Amino acid sequence: MNSYKVIMNRVPEKTYQEFVNFCHEEFADDFGMGLKHLWDFYKGIMPTGQEALEARLDALEQEVFALKGKSKSKSKGEEKKPIRTLSGRSLKRSSETLVTEGLNEKQIKVKS
């Protein structure tokens, strides 16, 4: 087993005590594992340069997915929202005819 030594100088006292307490509580006074844990955490948070590219790729992937989703829904014959009149009645689209929903049902011809 390899044994390495790390000597740290100019560490603020409060930071040193926090590190010692952290290693005591989490790693049974194993300062090497405490340092490894902190280093792994640092590598996971600090960008390495690829994160920006991955974020751009994710954004492009979502945009392509959204565009494909829109084109698929249009090709499937996307349902149109009903038209509402000022009185609150809703008009349903039926090919070339709008059918009103209410007490008096009427058909209104739509010019295409």
Question: What's the confidence (pLDDT) of residue 15?
Answer: 94
Whether residue 48 is predicted with pLDDT greater than 80 in this model: the reply is no
**Percent of the chain residues topping a pLDDT of 70:** 68
**22 band by pLDDT with thresholds 50, 70 and 90:** very high
Q: What is the pTM of this model?
A: 0.40
Which is more confidently placed, 73 or 8?
8
pLDDT one-digit tens code per residue, 61-94: 999 988 888 765 555 555 667 777 888 787 766 6
> Given the structure tokens 């565009």, which residue do they identify?
67
Query: Is residue 70 classed exposed, middle or buried when 0-12, 13-18 and 19+ CB atoms within 10 A define those classes?
Result: exposed
Which amino acid does the sequence have at 6? Answer: V
What is the DSSP track for the chain?
A: ---------S--HHHHHHHHHHHHHHHTT-HHHHHHHHHHHHHHHS--SHHHHHHHHHHHHHHHHHHHHHHHHHHT-PPPPPEE-TTS-EEEEETTEEEE-SSS--EEE---
